[in-house]
Amino acid sequence: MLRVGVLVSGGGTNLQAIINAIDNGVIPEAQISVVIANSDMAFALERAKQAGIPTKVIVRKNFPSPAEFDIALANELRSHTVDLVLLAGFMAILGPDFFTHFENRVMNIHPALIPAFSGPGYYGLKVHKAILDYGCKVTGASVHFVTPEVDAGPVIIQKSVQIHQDDTPESLQKRVMEEAEWKIYPEAVRLFALGKLQVVGRQVIIDK
């Protein structure tokens, strides 16, 4: 049984997609062991409670340094013997101390086709606004393994989404979630749970 820990900050729709995929048997042999938020306002905490998943709030400002915050997160995840960590709208950057415990076992979902419109400063609606301002015709979402460099780890799955001429950042954000994010994040977790992902340098090899 794969034990998953999910880090959240906001609405938690990606968390919900993964809860649903586990409940429906789409992701076999997996359970979410803990959901950790860096704010007690995160609606994702409600979703976790509804699903009967243990929750924890760990707030950055309660720690003297980013490194100590990272260690507190890692310790909480380890206390639940978590095998895989999912960042699902987690609005904090993790430092190297975190990854020593979870190398190639941390995933993130980014609402663009990495490496476009990714890296520091590209989060939330800013990503979609930048894509529309540039005049792109296609965008999408990417699931990748997380490394200390923001949005730069090996890509696991990407899915494209057409941009409409009348899109706003809000309408594009919604369609990227519905058409891409909520599909590819559960799929990446399913592949991990089945032991089908192998990282070789920058490549993620998927065992079909």
Q: Which is nearer to ligand GRF, 6 or 74 (CB)?
A: 6
DSSP state of 164: P
Distance, in Å, from the CA atom of 67 to the CA atom of 78, rounded to the nearest integer, reads: 16
11 near ligand GRF (CB under 6 A): yes
DSSP state of 50: H
Residue type, 171: S
Residue selected from 47, 110, 175, 190 as contacting ligand GRF according to rule CB under 6 A: 110
Selected catalytic residue, list 101, 110, 128, 164: 110
Residue selected from 12, 140, 153, 186 as contacting ligand GRF according to rule CB under 6 A: 12
> What number of chain residues touch ligand GRF (CB under 6 A)?
14
Residue selected from 14, 33, 38, 55 as contacting ligand GRF according to rule CB under 6 A: 14
Determine the residue with CB nearest ligand GRF: 89
Residue selected from 21, 109, 113, 157 as contacting ligand GRF according to rule CB under 6 A: 109
Q: Build a one-symbol-per-residue string for 181-200: x at contacts with ligand GRF by CB under 6 A, - elsewhere.
A: x-------------------
Q: Which is nearer to ligand GRF, 11 or 66 (CB)?
A: 11
38 near ligand GRF (CB under 6 A): no
Map the footprint of ligand GRF across residues 78-107, applying CB under 6 A.
88-89
Give yes or no: 110 in active site. Answer: yes
Distance, in Å, from the CA atom of 140 to the CA atom of 111, rounded to the nearest integer, reads: 6
DSSP state of 60: G
Sequential DSSP letters for 73-134:
HHHHHHHTT-SEEEEES--S---HHHHTTSTT-EEEEESS-TTTT-STT--THHHHHHHHHH
Angle between helices 169-176 and 125-134 (to 10 degrees): 110
Relative to beta strand 2-8, strand 30-37 is parallel
Residues that bind ligand GRF (CB under 6 A): 10-15, 44, 88-89, 109-111, 177, 181
What are the catalytic residues?
110
